[in-house]
């Protein structure tokens, strides 16, 4: 029986799980100086948007919150698929270094699909939506508070990092420097296979 309390705990754990690929990408960005391409940033934003629905579920599970996670994951998965398609033809290379045999954008697609399937599976368990006796809307505490706070910090970190990388405009196809600190990249930089639709 899926109780509201158990569903809140599972969603908090899910939010921590979504934080892992974002933290991994962030670590890769700063340790290996592997700047995220525009499509990579859009995929990160897709994860963060999906996390908002899951964060709401960590307080009070509702079908609409799962719908938010599913819609966000569909948008994120579409971006991942776009980037996979840019490199699907043999010989077109990839963007960034692969991890465990797949590029980050392919892993991102896998995780988006897992979020969609996980949310759909949770929607089957309707016990979590039934009103509890003596119900009072819970406040964030414990694991839920930790998960939401961690996720909010990751979102803010990505916001600051993106401003540093791209300032207030669109990011270059193949970012090599933080524009905020080092100025605009030289014109005529050859397009890479990495970031946007213009880079093929």
Partner 1 sequence: MMALPFFTAFLALLTTWRGWRGATMALWALTIVVLLVLVKLHFTDALDIDL
Query: Which element (helix H / strand E) includes 65?
Result: helix 63-87
Helices and strands in the chain: count of H runs, count of E runs: 6, 0
Q: Which stretch binds partner 1 (CB under 8 A): 4-12, 96-104, 120-128, 149-157?
A: 149-157
From the number of C-beta atoms within 10 Å of its C-beta (0-12, 13-18, 19+), residue 93 rates as exposed
Of 31, 100, 133, 168, the one binding partner 1 (CB under 8 A) is 168
Upper half-sphere CA count for residue 74 (Cβ side, 13 Å):
7
User: Contact letters (x/-) for partner 1, 97-136, by CB under 8 A?
Assistant: ----------------------------------------
Give yes or no for residue 23 binding partner 1 (CB under 8 A). no
Of 13, 78, 123, 125, the one binding partner 1 (CB under 8 A) is 78
Q: In 3D, which of 13, 54, 5, 18 has the Cα closest to residue 143?
A: 13
Of 101, 133, 137, 188, the one binding partner 1 (CB under 8 A) is 137
Dihedral (Cα; 115, 4, 8, 11), 10-degree rounding: -10
- CA–CA dist 123, 142 (Å, integer): 24
Q: Are 70 and 106 in contact (CB under 8 A)?
A: no
Q: Which stretch binds partner 1 (CB under 8 A): 5-13, 23-31, 102-110, 156-164?
A: 156-164
Write out the residues near partner 1 by the rule CB under 8 A.
38-39, 41-42, 44-46, 48-49, 51-53, 55-56, 59-60, 64, 68, 71-72, 75, 78-79, 82, 85-86, 88-89, 92, 137, 139-140, 145, 148-149, 151-152, 155-156, 158-160, 162-163, 165-166, 168-171, 195-198, 200
């Amino acid at each position: 029986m899926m109780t509201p309390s158990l569903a809140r705990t599972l969603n908090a754990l899910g939010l921590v799980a979504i934080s892992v690929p974002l933290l991994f990408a962030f670590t890769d960005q700063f340790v290996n100086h592997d700047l995220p391409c525009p499509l990579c940033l859009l995929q990160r934003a897709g994860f963060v948007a999906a996390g908002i629905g899951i964060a709401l579920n960590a307080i009070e599970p509702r079908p609409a919150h799962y719908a938010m996670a599913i819609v966000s994951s569909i948008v994120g998965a579409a971006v991942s698929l776009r980037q996979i398609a840019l490199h699907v033809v043999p010989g077109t290379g990839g963007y960034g270094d692969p991890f465990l045999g797949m590029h980050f954008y392919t892993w991102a697609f896998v995780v988006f699909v897992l979020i969609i399937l996980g949310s759909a599976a949770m929607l089957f368990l309707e016990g979590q939506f039934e009103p509890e006796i003596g119900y009072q809307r819970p406040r964030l505490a414990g694991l839920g508070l930790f998960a939401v706070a961690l996720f909010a910090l990751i979102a803010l970190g990505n916001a600051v990092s993106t401003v540093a990388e791209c300032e207030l405009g669109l990011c270059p196809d193949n970012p090599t420097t933080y524009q905020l600190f080092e100025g605009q990249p030289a014109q005529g930089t050859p397009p890479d296979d990495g970031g946007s639709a213009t880079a093929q």
